[in-house]
Amino acid sequence: MRDPMHFDARAEVYERSRPLYPEALWARLRELGVLGGGRRVLDLGAGTGEATGRLVESGATVTAVEPGIALAERLRRRVPQARVVVATAEDVLLPDAAFDVAVVATAVHWFDLGIVVPKLHRVLRPGGQLAVWRTVFGDPEVSTPFRDRVSEIVAARPPADRPDALDPDHWTRVLTATGHFVVRHTEVFRWSVELDTDQIRGLFSTFSDWSAVEVEAAAQAADDLGGRVTEHYLTPLMLLDRVGPGTKA
């Protein structure tokens, strides 16, 4: 079973190894009015601040919620301008109508959305927005020798039943099921990053469903392919509007 505290035990590696989100994502969020000076933003499942820092740089006042103590400590050091709260998204205590935007970056799959979605509706002001995105490690439309090796590693596991990270119908359904939000915009950003063997080892060790043996197999694959590989990733974005007076559901 995947353990969300897996990340806290690897906080230093997580901060060092997780890639940044693509610039095209931030440009689109600005165009959509999600980012901007004076915005009050709630960042749920903030980790070590991969999104938090950019939110602060946009001029927003940010409250970052992170359940991992070690992750939260690195987040405080990395983004001292943010208010950091150590709590789960389900348990955190937040005032009503206190935020203009809620952000969930590569964390929504960990949440009990039956609890979190109504809470977000309550803490967002009328007209507030919910922005949800994540990194998908591996573009299914791009085949590379390294990804072929990764597929061989994953194929050796028992079958797993989990939502497809790229299935927009699933995430639209679960995020709008309670009637608190409606989808305004969806988009998928494609991007690539070059990683060496040590970076592959560090990154894959942060994946909660990868064993140490599998991580070393991925690192060996990168080494066999010359010690440097180009990874092709995706970032699906979903922007939702808070339902309230005047909102078209």
The packing angle between helices 145-155 and 212-224, to 10°, is 160
Q: How far is residue 13's CA from residue 205's CA, in Å, rounded to a whole number?
A: 8
Q: How far is residue 34's CA from residue 119's CA, in Å, rounded to a whole number?
A: 19
The 10 Å Cβ neighbour count of residue 160 is 8
Q: How far is residue 39's CA from residue 137's CA, in Å, rounded to a whole number?
A: 30
Q: How far is residue 231's CA from residue 51's CA, in Å, rounded to a whole number?
A: 20
Query: Domain extents for the chain?
Result: 6-136+162-191+233-242
Per CATH, the architecture of 6-136+162-191+233-242 is what? 3-Layer(aba) Sandwich (3.40)
Q: According to the model, what pLDDT value does residue 1 have?
A: 35
Report the chain's mean pLDDT, rounded to a whole number: 92
188 is written with which tokens? 């998928």
The predicted-structure confidence for 157-210, as pLDDT tens digits, reads as follows: 887 655 555 576 788 889 999 999 999 999 999 999 999 999 999 999 999 889
Name the nearest CA neighbour of 192 among 153, 132, 141, 133. 141
Q: Which residue has the higher pLDDT, 169 or 131?
A: 131
Q: According to the model, what pLDDT value does residue 163 have?
A: 56
Contact 97, 123 (CB under 8 A): yes
Q: According to the model, what pLDDT value does residue 166 have?
A: 57
Q: According to the model, what pLDDT value does residue 157 have?
A: 87
- Could you tell me where the DSSP H helices lie in the chain? 6-9, 11-17, 23-31, 52-57, 69-78, 113-123, 145-155, 168-176, 197-205, 212-224
* 24-35: average pLDDT: 96
Does residue 68 register a pLDDT over 80? yes
List C-alpha distances in Å: 214 to 97, 151, 171, 218, 230.
45, 11, 29, 6, 19
The predicted-structure confidence for 89-129, as pLDDT tens digits, reads as follows: 999 999 999 999 999 999 998 999 999 999 999 999 999 99
The packing angle between helices 113-123 and 168-176, to 10°, is 60
The predicted-structure confidence for 205-225, as pLDDT tens digits, reads as follows: 999 889 999 999 999 999 999
